[in-house]
Amino acid sequence: MPLGEHRPHEPDPGALALEVAVLRQELARTQAELAEARALAELVERSPHPALVHDGCTVLWANDAAAHLVELESGQAFVGMQLVDVVEPSSQEAARERIAATLRGEQLPTPGEFVVRTRSGRRVVVETRASRTVWRGVPAVYIVVWDVTARREHAAQLAWAATHDTLTGLLNREGIRAHLDHDLGARPCADPDHTPAQTVAALLVDLDGFKAVNDRHGHAAGDAFLQAVAGSLQQAAGDHPLGRLGGDEFLCLLRDPAPGEPEALAERLAAAVAETAQPPAPPTADSATTSPAPAQMPARAATGAAAPAVTASIGVAIGRTGQVSPSALLAAADAAMYRAKRRGVSHETVDLTSVPSAPARG
């Protein structure tokens, strides 16, 4: 090499080999991470649990399970949709608030619950859990969804069964007693708009002659007859709470009645029982094609013949909130009902509003 000429720097083979090895390790680690991410994405995509990514305005991604929940073909069909497209109006504001709170980084301690509509219009109750994420550089919310419709329907059925009579569909003893307690202010009501009444009329209805239906035609016929009577009483009671206390006893409540209104209602209830107990009239030429009145049909259908005469004895008790307890009002109605039986009249009334009494308790 001529004097003064510099030899190019020759890389150290050992250093090159080490650098290549480090790059290979980093590449292998990156490939492993990518494979793991792909596997995780595939798991989420194929998960039976609906999941989606939302940016606060639209759906950015959804798996097929989320799409099928609302009867869409695929997750891709969900992309670009807004809350108003699937969430019922009553749930939209709460859904927006939860998404916004999650985007702000707030930890929501309880799952959200919303009602969504499928493409066919079916209502689905869903429970959601959300976490903040980044989707392709955009702040977003990852939402996992559970369909809790069946669970909520089962809970509603249990709640209904706890307060309703399974034979007649009317309120049961506990259900009608709760109405009475709420109206007299003896028990807090879950409805914030409910206020106690100033006065309450309790109408206790007892069926006279019903035992003969069971004795002559059997308990299945008796049950059918009670169902028919319950339907007739419900029609006569209108919007007033009506319940079956058990056996052949029913209770109807009237809030803040006008003078004479409880007695008028008692007469309608007694007439409803009497009409139900009568067999249909023989058809005439003009009515040959006309079916018997619905209230009359069950009495004959249940027994196969005219049912024994069944009438109602009704005890009416009127009490003032804060002056009479629910138990005392029911006891007064029961006593009035037995007076009606002894006298052979449809109803007897006792007005406790003019009777001084001790402060009401339970």
> Cα separation of 128 and 139, whole Å?
19
Which residues, in sequence order, are bridge partners of residue 128? 112, 145
- Residue 319 forms beta bridges with which residues? 200
Check if 215 is active-site: no
Q: How far apart, in whole angstroms, are the C-alpha atoms of residue 188 and residue 182?
A: 6
Residue among 352, 345, 330, 336 nearest 252 (CA): 330
Whole-Å CA distances, 136 to 53, 65, 78, 139: 11, 22, 17, 8
DSSP state of 305: S
* Distance from C-alpha of 57 to C-alpha of 140, rounded to nearest angstrom: 10
What strands lie across the sheet with 51-54, from one edge to the other? 59-62, 51-54, 138-147, 123-135, 112-117
Catalytic residue among 165, 248, 286, 351: 248
Active site residues: 248
